[in-house]
Amino acid sequence: MKLDFLRQIANPLIDEYVRNGVITARDAVEVKKRFFQAEVKYGFNTYTGDPSKLSLFLNSRDFDELAEYLKSLGALQLLLDILVRIEEVYRELVEVVDAARRARDRLSAGQLTTGGGKGVAKCLDLESLSSLVREKLNPSELLVEGNTVKAIVGGGLEFSVSLHKQHVKMVIKAKKGDVGRAVKGLFEKVGEIAEKTLCI
């Protein structure tokens, strides 16, 4: 019988990353929960389902969202390690190996699938977003906090953009007397940033 993906591949690697201090125990619980939800949804449990269905998960939006979450933790390498292990363990399941290899190549290249087999979507990550904000706004100060990029543009004007699973949140803060003058020149540049934060 093939090794079970969740219990004998994913969970042991997650635990290893906790022991090495890469992710916290709390983060590990969230990652394991997402894998378990995927197992229930796609039915790739080795004991009660079909391991070949793992390929469906690897090509799904659920996988993308897990990748985004791990990236926000600075632990995307965990998912890459899991994909390598999948290729080793399920080498006889061609569709699973192909899906794992494609997923690994996409993640290494900074790309994610759109899900539903509709091809590849290029999604802005935090590093690319911060570079874009720096390029467009030329801020005096740029901070990255969690899933948010914050820019101090000048004159007390503050712009922030946060990446979430299903949406992007942008906030502009300005002193009362400076709102009209300060914000007016920002709208076009902020619009360009907004367009690029969406998956193409």
The DSSP code sequence of 156-182 is: TEEEEEEE-SS-EEEEEE--GGGHHHH
What is the average pLDDT across 124-142?
79
- Would you say residue 116 has pLDDT above 50? no
Q: Which of 105-109, 124-128, 132-136, 139-143 has the lowest mean pLDDT?
A: 124-128
Which residues fall within 8 angstroms of residue 129, CB to CB, at 6 or more apart?
149, 161, 163, 193, 197
pLDDT of res. 121? 38
Beta carbons of 34 and 75 less than 8 angstroms apart: no
Q: Determine the pLDDT at residue 163.
A: 74
CA 22 to chain centre: 17
Separation between Cα atoms, residue 40 and residue 46, nearest integer Å: 12
Question: What average pLDDT does the segment 101-126 reach?
Answer: 61
User: Residue range 30-38: average pLDDT?
Assistant: 94
End-to-end CA distance of the chain: 41
Provide mean pLDDT across the span 32-56. 92
Q: Position 24: which residue type?
A: T
Q: What are 62's two structure tokens?
A: 């659920």
- Predicted confidence at residue 164, as pLDDT, reads 66
Q: Sorting pLDDT into bands at 50, 70 and 90, what band is 82? A: very high
- Burial of 42-77, coded b for 16+ CB within 10 Å and e otherwise, reads bbbbbeebebbbbbbbbbbebbbbbbbbbbebebbe
Per-residue confidence (pLDDT) for residue 24, from 0 to 100: 92
**Do 177 and 168 form a contact (C-beta atoms < 8 A)?**
no
